[in-house]
């Protein structure tokens, strides 16, 4: 039935009123007729006919009023019982979905998120049940994400911690002098841990929209030139060529300079990390690129590196996601860089696109809205 709950209640009560109304008219009609017949048979006798017309009317009146009073009482009892029974039945039928929903909500409140209530109607209850099912699905996903996050964080923390523990135990047991190289390695692990904790902190702030960005007009072309300059040394050390190109200048965007710098540092360190010696990395900025009905400033970070298989691209911006974990582990990445970049760009009202071909190279393009 495609009626809303309100329409259903209206139809049912209307039906009750109609039934009671009709039965009132019908019972009155038949009862009156039978009463007249009865009166004719029982009361109209010779003695009745001998009375004056005034007395005859009085007898008729008393007879009818007495009988009618009794009938009204019986009818009233019958109507009240029928009305109550009907209302009890209708309220039961109309609240079946609500009772199912309440039972499901109680289960969710007790911590059981695996509940699903079947949607059997398109009325308000149907919509509420659908919304409830969507809500529990989101809760299940959030719970799953939380579990995964805790497991990932624990896993990432365990490795550097166990390395440090082992080295310190060794040094303590042998009682030997600790050489500076070993202290340096321990320090490296501590730095790795602090970076990881810092990344997680930024990520959690960005995900919950509590990052508190300091938007100011920023000349992105100038800023990119500085960033490229800063990482160029590292690229050269890795045997890579790095170039920067801007078609116009200045390219002003409203952005938080510190966070936007972090986005491009993450993309550039990836490009350096995942491009073998002899490769090329180029950064190109274009202002006023139309996408749909919006205009963006676009920055592409293009490398000629190892590339990313097509099936991996959808997970690339997930937390802790690394293509071929072993390969990336060796290079020291934790798989948070792209996730952070994605959230920071989103907080600026933009988005990142990626194109890649294994063994040919990867291009990440950051779209930032011109006016936010």
Ligand X SMILES: Nc1ncnc2c1ncn2[C@@H]1O[C@H](COP(=O)(O)OP(=O)(O)OP(=O)(O)O)[C@@H](O)[C@H]1O
Binding residues for ligand X (CB under 6 A): 266, 270-271, 273-274, 303, 305-308, 316, 321-323, 328, 333-339, 362
- Phi, psi (deg, nearest 5) at residue 67: -65, -40
Cα angle for residues 289, 291, 297 (degrees, 5° grid): 35
Q: Is residue 156 within 8 Å of 38, Cβ to Cβ?
A: no
Identify whether 154 is preceded by a cis peptide bond (ω within 30 of 0). Answer: no
Partner whose binding site includes residue 350, from Mg ion, ligand X, none (CB under 5 to 8 Å by kind): none
Minimum distance from CB of 166 to ligand X (Å)? 23
The residue (of 117 and 345) whose beta carbon lies closer to Mg ion is: 345
Q: Which is nearer to ligand X, 362 or 365 (CB)?
A: 362
Task: Give alpha helix (H) positions in the chain.
Answer: 5-42, 46-50, 53-94, 96-109, 124-174, 180-207, 220-237, 257-273, 325-331, 337-347
Closer to Mg ion by Cβ: residue 266 or 297? 266
Q: Which tokens is 205 given?
A: 């702030």
Residue nearest Mg ion (C-beta atom): 337
User: Does 270 contact Mg ion by CB under 5 A?
Assistant: yes
Q: How many angstroms separate the CA atoms of 247 and 368, rounded?
A: 16
Whole-number minimum distance, CB 269 to Mg ion, in Å? 6
**Pick 74 or 357: Cβ nearer ligand X:** 357
When the beta carbons of 237 and 293 are compared against ligand X, the nearer one is 237
CB of 270 to Mg ion, least distance (A): 4
Span 326-365, contacts to Mg ion by CB under 5 A: 333, 337
Among Mg ion, ligand X, none, residue 48 binds (CB under 5-8 Å by kind): none
Give the span between the Cα atoms of 348 and 259, in whole angstroms: 10
Positions touching Mg ion (CB under 5 A) are 270, 333, 337
């Amino acid at each position: 039935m495609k009626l809303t709950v309100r329409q259903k209640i209206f139809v049912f009560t209307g039906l009750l009123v109609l039934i009671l109304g009709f039965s009132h008219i019908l019972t009155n009609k038949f009862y009156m007729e039978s009463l007249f017949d009865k009166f004719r048979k029982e009361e109209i006798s010779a003695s009745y006919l001998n009375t004056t017309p005034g007395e005859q009317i009085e007898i008729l009146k008393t007879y009818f009023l007495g009988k009618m009073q009794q009938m009204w009482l019986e009818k009233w009892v019958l109507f009240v019982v029928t009305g109550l029974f009907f209302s009890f039945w209708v309220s039961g039928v109309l609240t079946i979905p609500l009772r199912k929903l309440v039972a499901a909500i109680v289960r969710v409140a007790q911590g059981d998120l695996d509940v699903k209530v079947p949607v059997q109607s398109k009325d308000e209850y149907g919509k509420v049940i659908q919304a409830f099912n969507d809500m529990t699905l989101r809760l299940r996903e959030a719970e799953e994400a939380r579990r995964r996050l805790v497991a990932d964080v624990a896993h990432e923390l365990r490795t550097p911690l166990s390395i440090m523990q082992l080295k310190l135990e060794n040094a303590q047991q042998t009682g030997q002098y600790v050489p500076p190289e070993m202290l340096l390695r321990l320090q490296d692990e501590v730095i790795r841990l602090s970076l990881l904790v810092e990344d997680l902190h930024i990520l959690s702030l960005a995900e919950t929209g509590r990052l508190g960005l300091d938007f100011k007009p920023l000349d992105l072309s100038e800023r990119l030139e500085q960033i490229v300059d800063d990482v160029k040394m590292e690229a050269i050390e890795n045997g890579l060529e790095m170039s920067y190109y801007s078609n116009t200048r200045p390219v002003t965007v409203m952005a938080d300079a510190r966070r936007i710098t972090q986005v491009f540092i993450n993309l550039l360190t990836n490009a350096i990390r995942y491009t073998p010696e002899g490769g090329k990395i180029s950064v190109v900025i274009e202002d006023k690129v139309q996408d749909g009905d919006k205009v963006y400033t676009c920055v592409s970070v293009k490398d000629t590196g190892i590339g990313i298989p097509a099936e991996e691209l959808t997970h690339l911006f997930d937390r802790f996601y690394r293509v071929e974990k072993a390969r990336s582990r060796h290079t020291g990445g934790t798989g948070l860089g792209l996730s952070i970049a994605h959230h920071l760009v989103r907080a600026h009202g933009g988005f990142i696109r990626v194109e890649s071909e294994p063994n040919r190279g990867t291009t990440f393009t950051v779209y930032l809205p011109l006016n936010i």
